[in-house]
Amino acid sequence: MVSAMVAIVIAVLLAGGLWVIVRRAVGASAHRTPEGGMTSTASRADVALVYQSEARASQAALAAGCGVAVLMWAWGTWWTQGYGLPISLAGSVGAVVGLVAYAVIPRKLWNSDPGAGAVADLTPRRPTSFARHWVFVLPAVAAIILALGLLLTGLYSATDENGLHRVFQRRNLVGWGVKNGQVVDIQYNLTSTGPFPGWYYGVPVMICTALMILAVYWSLSRTAAAPRPPSPELFHADTVLRGMRTTFVMAASSSALTFQIAGLSAITGNVLRSAHYDAVPTVDLMAPAGMTPVEPGHTLALALLLSALPLAVVAVALLAKAIAVSVDMRSLAQSTPRMPQEPAR
């Protein structure tokens, strides 16, 4: 009972801390309307076309990423010899494909008036220039937690009958004797429990996580390096669009990483919970041995299991945020042409 209460407290603290980070990250990404300072009907039409193109790119990226993740999951259920490896990679591979697709899908460029003079914007632009720092904290923290968790589970993993590091070994009571009313000759054996996220799963997931980080940086760099519109009155709309692109990338990647951590917590917690029970011999050889939890592993297992659900909820919320940003792009594209036209002269 005490260990369960401690596990609940730990899980609540972990979930609460992560939720605070998510709220700060998501709350800091509120977008302004792109109309600031626009007086030309042509500029408004240009904004509508550019935002509509960006919305299509984001929706195609979401479809590509989710589609690949579903295919990886289906492949994992069909390919039994893989022991669920494609399923463990589904989120990471889907995120990498979606991010790469989002970066390379062609967009509509801002219109350029050949008769107008060129205007330069000399403000430095970096990959982190178009969102508050809180937006970048969540994926960085999630990537570090995921890498550390996979390293720890890899170190504590053991090989199965095929030589794959995908099981957790534990001591198991196999027999004992009773002499003069005392328990004697206690015998133990090693048993394996799996699937456990050892090196067999952990190394591919860490490689995909590194690829995801590179894809995120590449996408943010392309967002920052894209040229400014030729007209200064479009600068505000361009800045808002870059902020939405940044939020979309960070929300989608954070969702994939959090899903991975939730799965790691659930699988590891389930294995450790069954592994951290010791059988207690009894002088009554006809009675089954009692079971007692072994600390601190039992409490850690419960904390991992209890934290998996809120982590999954946070991952769904972040994916919903990415979808909402894509919908906002299309909504702004549809509302921009209906702005009041410039007054007649």
186 is a domain residue: yes
Residue 343 resides in a domain: no
Give how far the C-alpha of residue 130 lies from the chain's centroid of Cα atoms, to the nearest Å.
Answer: 21
Q: What is the domain extent for residue 164?
A: 2-29+45-111+126-338
Q: CA 171: distance to chain centroid?
A: 35
Residues 34 and 237: beta-carbon distance below 8 Å: yes
Token pair listed for 305: 């299991």
CA distance 179 to 187: 15
From the list 229, 223, 233, 251, the residue with the least C-alpha distance to 316 is 251
For 39-69, the pLDDT digits (tens) are 466 677 888 888 999 999 999 999 999 999 9
List the alpha helices (DSSP H) in the chain.
Answer: 2-27, 41-78, 85-104, 133-155, 199-225, 235-275, 297-335
Question: What pLDDT score was predicted for residue 11?
Answer: 57
Backbone angles phi and psi of 78, in degrees to 5: -85, -40
50: left (phi over 0), alpha (psi -120 to 50) or beta: alpha
For residues 121 and 228, is the Cβ–Cβ distance under 8 A? yes
Given the structure tokens 């009571």, which residue do they identify?
Answer: 173
Residue ranges of the chain with pLDDT lower than 50?
28-30, 39, 114-116, 338-345
> Is residue 299 in some structural domain?
yes
Q: In the numeric block, which tokens belong to residue 120?
A: 């330069």
Contacts of 113 (CB under 8 A, 6+ apart): 230, 231
Coil, strand or helix at 278: strand
Tokens encoding 39: 């007086």
Structure tokens at 177: 């004797």
249 falls within a domain: yes
pTM of this prediction exceeds 0.85: no
Per-residue confidence (pLDDT) for residue 32, from 0 to 100 = 56
pLDDT for 40 equals 62
| Count of domains observed in the chain | 1
In a domain, 168, yes or no: yes
Structural domain contains residue 22: yes
Alpha-carbon distance 191 to 174, whole Å?
10
Q: How many CA atoms, within 13 angstroms, populate the side-chain half-sphere of residue 266?
A: 12
Q: Are residues 212 and 95 in contact, defined by beta-carbon separation less than 8 angstroms?
A: yes
Question: Residues 131-159: pLDDT tens digits?
Answer: 777 778 878 888 999 999 999 999 999 99
Instruction: For residue 175, tell me if it sits in a domain.
Output: yes
